[in-house]
Amino acid sequence: MRYASITERLADLGSGKWAVHIEARAMVARGVPVIELTIGEPDIAPDPALLAECIRAMQAGRTRYSNGRGEPAVVKALVGKYRKRRADVTERNILCFPGTQTALFAVMLALVEQGDGVLVGDPYYATYEGVIASTGAHMTPVPLRPEHGFRLQAQDLAAAITPQSRVVLLNSPHNPTGAVLTEADIATIGEVCRKHDLWIVCDEVYEELIFGKPFASPFDNPDLAERAIAVSSISKSHAAPGFRSGWAAGPEEFCSRLLPVSETMLFGVQPFIADMTAMAVSQPFETSTIMRANYTRRAALVCVILGDNGPLRPFMPEGGMFIVVDVSATGLSGAEFATTLLRDKQVAVMPGSSFGVQAENLIRISLTVADDKLEIAASRMADLAEERVAAKDKQLWAS
Ligand SMILES: Cc1ncc(COP(=O)(O)O)c(C=O)c1O
């Protein structure tokens, strides 16, 4: 039978990136006590009030069809959220989706197609490649450099632009590096985008998980209002990834062109989830405060255990739920280190190669386990690194 080319474009972008995670899960199923630091799943529950609201809404009959834009209450709540950031936002700037991932997929489908290019900072979140490839467009990686705190530099962006470039896909706070763009970064990146008439799509799913620095977004910059689109969800902010509740905020014309795309894909998001999301977005909850405290403390703990002078080089994140570590001094790539760590020390981390060429020498550690477990896992990483360095030295002496 014949298949459409999308199945080939996406064929290598699925489970390959998650091979270590899948192997770890198989080991756990065999009874091996693996410490799993692979995926970014919040380790606390959503606030009980949100669960209660969801159940109340279901029992009150909020189980019927919705509409393509989103239930009025959640759209209103999102207008309230974004109006705090930009005064001219109305419901015509908002569309609801089941999570950031779907929002990204639909947004890309509305902006690019075969022959177009999407510029993405490398390292990048593992699914971006597939989201872009599914439209037929190609991804142009732009290096994110450790010496700039992994923040996209306008000159690197400008150097990567081609006549095919249509969109810059930003992610701040950034997965995997934890980098947070500043207002000044956004202004200079924005200038390049205006000059080359590029859309800016910003994945802001970790907006609430910043460890000190202020949040900045292209969506909030009035000079970029005609080209900036923000996508986000309650997955991380409210520890509610399974609810699949997100949105896109962008220019009015963009949203009205995206609406039929969304209606064709989804025909609306569940009203009971919408009611719960309206509550999540319009009231303060402690969930993100707790996670911020946990993740910043755990990232600092990993930095202390791996140390300044050891072979492993951790990069303290500015936000998000991960920390990346350069393992190159061990003589292993990130993928080799991750595989050896899993098989020899029963600790599962993501190999940097799942996040782009620039991350080949990195591993990504999820901060979503208890401190004591993370401490044990980090000590095992340090042990493996020391063992590798000792083996390398021995080889050098022998030769
Ligand atoms: C950068 C980034 N964007 C999007 C997502 C997916 O978010 P959602 O659950 O809202 O689809 C994730 C999940 O890990 C992520 O790390």
Tokens matching residue 143: 């290096």
**Ligand 1 contacts CB of residue 203 (under 6 A):** yes
In a mutational test of the pocket of ligand 1, which residue from 235, 350, 367 has the highest number of ligand atoms less than 8 Å from its CB?
235
CA–centroid distance, 203 to ligand 1, in Å, is 8
Question: Where exactly does CATH 3.40.640.10 map onto the chain?
Answer: 48-282
Question: Cα–Cα distances in Å, from 194 out to 166, 172, 190, 272, 281?
Answer: 11, 20, 6, 40, 31
Predicted pLDDT at 395: 78
Residues in the chain: 399
Report how far residue 395's alpha carbon sits from residue 391's, in angstroms, rounded to the nearest whole number.
6
The CATH number, out of the four listed (3.40.50.1220, 3.50.50.60, 3.40.47.10, 3.40.640.10), of the domain defined by the range 48-282: 3.40.640.10
pLDDT, tens digit (0-9, with 9 covering 90-100), for 39-90: 989 999 999 999 999 999 999 999 999 999 999 999 999 999 999 999 999 9
Query: What superfamily does domain 5-45+287-398 belong to in CATH?
Result: Aspartate Aminotransferase, domain 1 (3.90.1150.10)
CA–centroid distance, 215 to ligand 1, in Å, is 17
Ligand 1: which residue has its CA nearest to atom 7? Answer: 100
Report how far residue 286's alpha carbon sits from residue 140's, in angstroms, rounded to the nearest whole number.
39
**Ligand 1 contacts CB of residue 246 (under 6 A):** yes
pLDDT, tens digit (0-9, with 9 covering 90-100), for 281-309: 999 999 999 999 999 999 999 999 998 77
**Ligand 1 contacts CB of residue 368 (under 6 A):** no
Question: Where exactly does CATH 3.90.1150.10 map onto the chain?
Answer: 5-45+287-398
Percent of the chain with pLDDT over 90: 93
pLDDT, tens digit (0-9, with 9 covering 90-100), for 262-288: 999 998 899 999 999 999 999 999 999
Instruction: Give 14's pLDDT tier (boundaries 50, 70, 90).
Output: low
pLDDT, tens digit (0-9, with 9 covering 90-100), for 98-138: 999 999 999 999 999 999 999 999 999 999 999 999 999 99
Provide the CB-side half-sphere exposure for 76 (13 A, CA).
Answer: 7
What mean pLDDT, rounded, does the chain reach?
Answer: 96
State which H helix or E strand residue 103 sits in: helix 100-111
**Ligand 1 contacts CB of residue 204 (under 6 A):** no
Report how far residue 309's alpha carbon sits from residue 389's, in angstroms, rounded to the nearest whole number.
13
